[in-house]
Chains A and B, each alone.
Chain A
Amino acid sequence: MQLQPEEQESSKARLEALSRTDAVPPVEVRNLGIEYTLSDRKLKVAEDLNFSVSYDEFLILMAPSGAGKSTLLRVISGLEAPSAGEVRIKGKPLAGPSEYSFMVFQNFALLPWKTVLENVELGLLSRKRLSEEESRTRAMKAIEKVGLKDFAGSYPGELSGGMKQRVGIARAIALEPEVILLDEPFSSLDAVSARKLRSEIYTLVISPKSPIRVAIMVTHSVEEAVALADRILVLSKSPMKIKKEIKIEIPRPRRASSEKFHSYVDEIYDLLS
């Protein structure tokens, strides 16, 4: 991978950031409970869940399929309310979507009647209340970053799955949220685009130049998690509880062929099965 120097720099910056004594972690999950009402039964998705994420950290949540990882991410985004406990973003308890976070969706969630540029602009105009001109410049910048400069005027329907997800990412980074939430961002892409985007996501999201400071991602691919995460939380199913916390201590860029990589992968597979 050619991104090596930049990444080394970024880990240096991260070390500095970690050594800073930020009193309040950017994301805190406290005694969180999530309940679902299914016909007449109450289903416990999560119970007494506690964790926090620090600045410049890429956290990945893993759980057996159907456990409710995506629901957990929606609760952290403020789209859904928990049944108990709370989520704090920069120390403030959430009540609805936070101005500091944004989500990248599994199925992109682009508006098909708007062009790539208009999709990216939308949040700048409404959420950030920027002028049309300012929004356009910032949106174009984000679109260039994800490599879609020539497609700014295209409609999502004319793009491949990989390109659509790039638009989804551009929309998120244009808003410059401190916290980015990634809900299985690669799982509806074909294998080649998924691999390519996966190799770029870390620098797109967490780089010294990026205003994004925290990434929380949900995935079902163990290899993906080990390749990307600073830390992985393996959760159990019904209700979700933290089974194990694993710090991935492999320097970046990471090689999927290394022995250390394999031992992490095996460990997580054992925990999940």
Chain B
Amino acid sequence: MLSLEFIGKLWLDAAVSWSRLFLALLVSLIFSWAVGITAARSSTGEKIVLPLLDILQSVPILGFFPIILVVFIAFLPQQTGIYLAVTFLIFTSMTWNITFAVYEAIKSIPKDFMQLAKLERMGLFQRITKLYIPASWPKVAYNTMVSWSVALFYLVASEIFSLGKASYQVTYGIGVDIAKYGAAQEWDQYAASMAVLILMVLITYFLFLNEFSQWTEKFKLGYDAPKRNRRNPVHRFYHWIDFLLVARVRSMSLGKLFERGISNSMAHLLLLARWTTSQDQSPGMRGLANSQRESQKGRAMRTIEYTLFALIAIAILSSLALSSSGGFARGYALFYSDMLKVIPSFLYSLARIWGVYVVTALVSVPLGIAIASNDRLFAILTPALQITAAIPAPALLPPIAIAVMSLPDGGGGEANAFFVIFLGMIWYLIFNIIEGVRSIPKQIFSVARLLDLKGWRYWRDVLLPAILPSFITGSITAIGGGWNTLIIAEYFAVTVSNGSTVALTQVPLGIGKLLDQAAASGDLLLLGLSVTVMVAFVFGFNVTVWRRLYRMATSRTILEGTR
């Protein structure tokens, strides 16, 4: 039986976790406005900021976490260092798309407003407070929603990750509870922690994120301006209580009340689903969306910039190699031997990710189509899927790890990695496919019926081509999400009571595992090399393959009319 005290502690831990989220959000907002406004208002700023964001958005940030931890702990008192490292990681997962949002919002302020500002002789400060910030609210709010769910993933992942290393351990946090009780197989406590986490997710969504985005509606400029006034946030806050009271006063029948409540919450859940699986939230996709903005810039210019970043990375890595070995020849030898560890691990992880992706796609395409094309199935299953999807995948790690532990050598580690990567991928695919089918214009179905298209012909000529763009979007985001889960999927360790670290599950070889181990031993060079190889590949793949595929898929398959 769980004590009241225990439940209280869980809420306290959740509050600590949420304090990290809100702190990171605050810093993100300040950073985004500063950098976004600079990029939008100065051409030099634009040239530096845009390509930098482009890279930062496309990389699996979680790979950087070990480095961040090592650096923060080196310079700060341990607990403060860890708290700030987690917060910093969350900040890096939140901020890039908000920065882009600010940049875009300011770039798209109608000319009239800019001229007005000139006529009124507004100074820079006045422009910022009276024009730039208000004009960027709506996009900032939307992107905050997106960022928040990414951040949840990182919050839980980083709290779980730190559990393996006694010296890096986060003391308070709901993710810590989840990992701890899960690993100790105390399932009552684990379930209670999960319940608290899910409740916090839902509460934040309804009481903060949703309200926030409603509130920003009034800042929309020009054509985007909403036609009707929204009720103010305080009123909306009491909306549900209000709804119950009104229902009682009007003595609605219980059935009617239930019906209204269901349809109300269905509408909210749909928003929630869009929020948790929005295509913008995956690193790969965020980079893609920006490629269109980037297209005005010359390809040569971009190449120069990327080369510059590559050179900087090489410079940092070589100085690390030199400083940790003292001497050029030995530094080179060290670099070489580390690369011999990094490359095979990376290739293993690459194969692992694509393998899981194939399985995920084979499961989610028929499932997504079945759910989307059957109204009853859609109504019954979507809310259930959405609530499940709202749970950050890392939180499900402990029971999976325990369940596969008994499998014979290596098999457990692979199975664990499979399930965690699978969970990190599937929602992107399923919801994108559902959305894809649901957004096929009615007249396409009409024409298919009039032309008597049935069976395989219907799938080949209508259904599959129609969902191709959504499928590609889903795939890009799923694989981007997959890279992010690696660091916790390939290696899950806990600290046992005597202070030593025990790996519950691990794969034989993998870049995520290598990152974990390098972090545990404080090997900065190995960390840097692993991250660089992973980032270079993921980014390169995005630029060369995904972008082209995405453009190809959308050019010929945009369906006209939506009646």
Shortest C-beta distance, A212 to chain B (Å), equals 15
* Stretch of B153-161, B445-453, B494-502 with 4 or more beta carbons under 8 angstroms from chain A: B445-453
Known contacts A106-B561, A109-B561, A122-B461; decide if A127 and B451 are in contact (CB<8 Å). Answer: yes
How far apart sit A222 and B465, CA to CA, in the bound complex (Å)? 39
Given contacts A111-B461, A113-B556, A157-B555, contact A77 B561 (CB under 8 A): no
Cα separation A222 to B372 with both chains bound (whole Å): 40
Q: List 6 A–B pairs whose Cβ atoms lie within 8 Å, in order of A's numbering.
A: A97-B449, A108-B560, A111-B461, A113-B465, A126-B457, A157-B556
Residues of the A chain whose Cβ atoms lie less than 8 Å from the Cβ of B462: 111
| B122 adjacent to chain A (CB < 8 Å) | no
Residues of B within 8 A of A110 (CB): 560
Q: Which of B346-397 contact A (CB under 8 A)?
A: none
B445 to chain A, nearest CB (A): 9
Q: Are B557 and A113 in contact (CB under 8 A)?
A: yes
A107 to B442, CA, bound (A): 11
In the complex formed, the residue of B with least CB distance to A127 is: B452
The answer to whether the Cβ of A14 comes within 8 Å of any Cβ in the partner chain is no
Does the CB pair A126–B453 fall under 8 Å? Answer: yes
* Chain A residue with the shortest CB-CB distance to B260: A40
Complex Cα–Cα for A77 and B563 (A) = 16
A contact residues around B558 at 8 Å (CB):
112, 157
Contacting pair B444 A111 (CB below 8 A): yes
| With A113-B556, A122-B461: A102-B561 Cβ-Cβ less than 8 Å | no
The 6 closest A-B pairs by CB, nearest first: A107-B561, A127-B452, A109-B443, A123-B451, A113-B465, A109-B447
A109: chain B residues at CB < 8 Å are: 441, 443-444, 446-447, 561
Is A201 part of the contact surface with B, judged by Cβ < 8 Å? no
CA A125 to CA B451, docked complex, whole Å: 9
Per-residue contact bits, chain A 109-131, to B (CB 8 Å; 1 contact, 0 not): 11111100000001101110000
Does A202 belong to the interface (CB within 8 Å)?
no
Q: Are the CB atoms of A126 and B465 closer together than 8 Å?
A: no
How many Å from the CB of B444 to the closest CB on chain A? 6
> Are B451 and A108 touching (Cβ within 8 A)?
no
Q: Which residues of B contact A74 (CB under 8 A)?
A: 446
Over the window 454-494 of chain B, the binary record of Cβ atoms lying under 8 Å from chain A Cβ atoms (1 yes, 0 no) is: 10010001100100100000000000000000000000000
Question: In the bound complex, do residue B443 and residue A107 qualify as a contact, i.e. CB atoms below 8 Å apart?
Answer: yes
Which residues of the other chain, A, contact B449 by a CB distance below 8 angstroms? 79, 96-97
Total residues of chain A contacting the partner, CB 8 A: 26
Q: What is the CA–CA distance of A169 and B461 in the complex, to the nearest angstrom?
A: 20
Interface residue? B559 (CB, 8 A): yes
Measured CA separation A157–B558 after assembly (Å):
9
- Nearest A residue to B443 by beta-carbon distance? A109
Q: A52 to chain B: closest CB distance in Å?
A: 22
Specify which of A102, A126, A127, A155 lies most central, judged by the most chain B CB atoms within 10 Å of its CB: A126
How near does chain A come to B442, taking the closest CB pair, in angstroms? 9
Known interface pairs A106-B561, A157-B556; A122-B451 also in contact (CB < 8 Å): yes
Q: Are A123 and B452 in contact (CB under 8 A)?
A: yes
12 further contact pairs, Cβ within 8 A, besides A77-B450, A79-B449, A105-B446: A79-B450, A97-B450, A103-B447, A105-B443, A106-B561, A108-B561, A109-B444, A110-B560, A111-B447, A111-B461, A126-B452, A157-B556
Interface string of B180-210 (1 = CB under 8 A from A): 0000000000000000000000000000000
In the assembled complex, which residues on chain A have CB atoms less than 8 Å from the CB atom of B443? 105, 107, 109
Residues of A68-107 at the interface with B, using a CB-CB cut-off of 8 Å, are: 74, 77, 79, 96-97, 102-103, 105-107
Q: Which residues of A contact B (CB under 8 A)?
A: 74, 77, 79, 96-97, 102-103, 105-114, 122-123, 125-127, 155-157, 188
Question: Please, what's the 1-or-0 string for B535-563, where 1 marks a CB less than 8 Å from any CB in chain A?
Answer: 00000000000000000000111111101
Q: How far is the CB of A141 from chain B (nearest CB, A)?
A: 18
| Proximity string of chain B (90-129) to chain A, C-beta cutoff 8 Å, 1 when within and 0 when not | 0000000000000000000000000000000000000000
* Complex Cα gap A97–B451 (Å): 9
| Interface secondary structure of B, over-half rule | helix
**Size range of the chain B interface in the assembly:** 20 to 34
Instruction: Give the chain A neighbours of B452 by CB distance below 8 A.
Output: 97, 123, 126-127
Query: A112 to B557, alpha carbons, bound, how many Å?
Result: 5
Whole-angstrom distance between the Cβ of B253 and the nearest chain A Cβ = 12
Determine the distance from Cα of A132 to Cα of B136 in the docked complex, in whole angstroms.
Answer: 56
Q: Are B561 and A112 within 8 A (Cβ)?
A: no
Which of B454, B465, B556, B560 makes the CB contact (< 8 A) with A107? B560
Question: Which residues of the other chain, B, contact A96 by a CB distance below 8 angstroms?
Answer: 449
- Write the chain B residue with the least CB distance to A80: B446
Does the CB pair B457–A103 fall under 8 Å?
A: no
| Chain B residues with CB under 8 A of A157 | 555-556, 558
Cβ 8 A contact of A112, one of B447, B450, B457, B556: B556
Are A102 and B556 closer than 8 Å at their CB atoms?
no
With beta carbons under 8 angstroms apart, the residue of A103, A127, A155 that contacts B446 is: A103
Rounded to whole angstroms, the CA-CA distance of A47 and B462 in the bound complex is 35
Q: How far is the CA of A51 from the CA of B559 in the complex (A)?
A: 35
CA separation between A39 and B221, bound complex, in Å? 32
Specify which chain B residues have a CB less than 8 angstroms from the CB of A77 in the assembled complex. 446, 450
A57 CB to closest chain B CB (Å) equals 22
* Residues in chain A near residue B446, CB distance under 8 A: 74, 77, 79, 103, 105, 109
Q: Shortest CB–CB separation between residue A179 and chain B, in angstroms?
A: 12
Q: Give the Cβ gap from A135 to chain B, nearest Cβ, in Å.
A: 12
Residue of B nearest to A101 (CB): B450
By beta carbon, the residue of chain B nearest A103 is B450
Q: What A residues does B451 contact at CB under 8 A? A: 122-123, 126-127
User: CA separation between A126 and B450, bound complex, in Å?
Assistant: 10
Residues of A within 8 A of B559 (CB): 112
Whole-angstrom distance between the alpha carbons of A176 and B49 in the complex? 60
Interface centre among B446, B449, B451, B560 (most CB of A within 10 A): B451
Q: What residues on A are CB-neighbors of B555 within 8 Å?
A: 157
Q: Are A111 and B450 in contact (CB under 8 A)?
A: no
B454 neighbours in A (Cβ, 8 Å): 126
A102 touches B450 (CB 8 A): yes
Chain A neighbourhood of B450, CB < 8 A: 77, 79, 97, 102-103, 123, 127
Residues of A within 8 A of B457 (CB): 125-126
* Contact partners of A102 in chain B: CB under 8 A: 450
Per-residue contact bits, chain B 303-328, to A (CB 8 Å; 1 contact, 0 not): 00000000000000000000000000
How far is A79 from B444 in the complex, measured between Cα atoms in Å? 12
Chain B residues whose CB sits within 8 angstroms of the CB of A103 once the complex forms = 446-447, 450
Which of B450, B451, B555, B556 has the largest number of chain A CB atoms within 10 A? B450
Name the A residues within 8 Å of B465 (CB-CB). 111, 113
A106 CB to closest chain B CB, in angstroms?
Answer: 7
In angstroms, how far is the closest chain A Cβ from the Cβ of B558? Answer: 6
B446, B453, B557, B559: most-surrounded residue (chain A CB, <10 A)? B446
- Please report the C-alpha to C-alpha distance between residue A102 and residue B457 in the assembled complex, in whole angstroms: 19
Which residues of chain B are near A111, meaning CB under 8 Å? 444, 447, 461-462, 465
